Amino acid sequence: MSEFIKVTYKTVAKDLHKKAESIAVGMTVGSWTDLPLAKQELLAPYLGKVESVHIQQEKDGLQYGTISINYPSNNSTPDIPALLTTVFGKLSMDGRIKLIDISFPPSFLRQFPGPKFGIEGVRSLLGVNGRPLLMSIFKSCLGLPLSDLETQFAAQIEGGVDMVKDDEIFFVDDRAPLNERLQAYNKIIVEAGRPILYAANLTGPVHQLIDKAKYAIENGANCLLLNVLPYGFDILQRLAADPDITVPLMAHPAMAGAYYSAEDYGIASPLLLGTLMRAAGADIILYPSPYGSVALNRADALHVAENIRSDNGVHKTAFPVPSAGIHPGLVPNLYNDFGTDVIVNAGGGIHGHPGGAADGGRAFRAAIDAVISGTSLAEAAQTNQPLARALEKWGGA
């Protein structure tokens, strides 16, 4: 008995039921009523079926709503390029239609690696439980010598961050090659006397990335950052499935706006940045927060977190990292919306602190401690100068 992948689209047509039938046939066997009976019997296991049609509005002779199609799971191999081509390839060019959601049968989902570490694994590596984690970003990095980056790294560690990540645009590192950065940063981590993850940006031609990842790990890398969409979901899946890749994988959402931003086109952010990133193997997933400089719709941001932290019966849960424009005054919002299992991630909110990056980190740690204890930031700032200065500069939530 065939199992089905349920795919939901948002679209518009004169008749949504007819459009749904057209998609179910056209995206699977191509045609149906014109086929001889023998061919219908042969192709029946591959034929898509309309699951549901929900008309939300009728206006000017058009029907607006969502349609769900059941695709036989044996129509696609278990990799995201094949999956997306199967359910949205040519359809993505068919006018106003947006891919909203994909639900997988467990047998199909098990063929994807999912997170190797997940939330519990990352917390175990850091030895931190019971609070949101804190991550900082290198700002700036391009063109700087290793000595300057070492100074930045040490200041961030001094401030109490749990993780530091490369900027996603750090490709040209000739003045601070990866192996030299790893050697210098790991020395600082040892001197700090506590576990700290450094997410090194994985770069280069895509066919070299597996080898580059292993090279990085051999040279002391304990976390890897990947710009998943420019490089492709498949390389994330191959990294996660490789037994020699023994560190957490962090997914950056670079280029995601080109997919999810339009109301009636593209791929919805909870699916793109939540469901698919997790299935492909990301342990830590960055995406726009609902508050910052490139804010994502709050409902969608919460839905992304739900997709990567909910129990799907197959994969470990991943860490959500709502990012961009985060400063200490926003920590209560993050905690109230995303709870304890979230990573607070900041660039300018740490490096732009009036007291420098170390005080930027201290301000965030004070804000995190305050929300965990149920203390207001204003009250916590009375006994914490870095937090007081951060609130003076950026304000509260």
DSSP string, 322-347: EESS--GGGHHHHHHHH-SS-EEEES
Q: What is the mean predicted confidence (pLDDT) over 230-252?
A: 98
Classified as helix, coil or strand, 193 is coil
Give residue 142's pLDDT.
Answer: 77
pTM comes to 0.95
Q: Which class for 1: exposed (0-12), middle (13-18), buried (19 or more C-beta within 10 A)?
A: exposed
The number of beta carbons lying within 10 Å of the beta carbon of residue 91 is: 20
Give residue 397's pLDDT.
Answer: 62
Give residue 30's pLDDT.
Answer: 76
Tell me which residue has tokens 């993780």. 163
Lookup: tokens for 359: 């005080």
Number of H helices, E strands in the chain: 19, 13
- What are 77-107's pLDDT values in tens digits? 999 999 999 999 999 999 999 999 999 999 9
In contact, 275 and 103? CB cutoff 8 Å: no
Query: For the residues of 48-111, what is the DSSP string, one character each?
Result: -EEEEEEEEEEETTEEEEEEEEEEEGGGS-SSHHHHHHHHHTGGGGSSSEEEEEEE--HHHHTT
Give residue 135's pLDDT.
Answer: 98
Which runs of consecutive H residues, i.e. helices, occur in the chain? Answer: 16-26, 37-43, 80-88, 106-109, 118-126, 146-158, 178-192, 209-218, 228-231, 233-241, 257-260, 269, 276-280, 298-309, 331-338, 348-351, 357-373, 377-381, 385-394
Tell me which residue has tokens 């391009």. 142
Give me the percent of the chain exceeding a pLDDT of 70.
Answer: 97
- What are 109-165's pLDDT values in tens digits? 999 999 999 999 999 999 999 999 999 998 877 778 888 989 999 999 999 999 999
The single-letter code of the amino acid at 173 is: D
Those residues with Cβ within 8 angstroms of residue 186's Cβ, 6 or more apart along the chain or in another chain: 198, 220
State the Cα–Cα distance between residues 266 and 269, nearest whole angstrom. 9
- Domain 118-394 CATH class label: alpha beta
Classified as helix, coil or strand, 355 is coil
Is the per-residue pLDDT at 32 higher than 70? no
Half-sphere exposure of 321 (CA within 13 A, CB side): 30
**Strands across the sheet with 265-267, in order?**
49-59, 62-72, 4-13, 97-103, 265-267
CATH of domain 4-109: 3.30.70.150
Active site residues: 90
Query: Which secondary-structure segment (H or E) carries 11?
Result: strand 4-13
Lookup: tokens for 313: 């019966």
Classified as helix, coil or strand, 76 is coil
Nearest one of 11, 97, 3, 96 to 53, comparing CA atoms? 11
Classified as helix, coil or strand, 282 is coil
pLDDT category, 42, cuts 50, 70, 90? confident
Query: Which secondary-structure segment (H or E) carries 201?
Result: strand 197-201
Angle at 118 between CA 113 and CA 119, to 5 degrees: 165
Domain residue spans in the chain?
4-109, 118-394
Is the per-residue pLDDT at 31 higher than 70? no
Is the per-residue pLDDT at 396 higher than 90? no
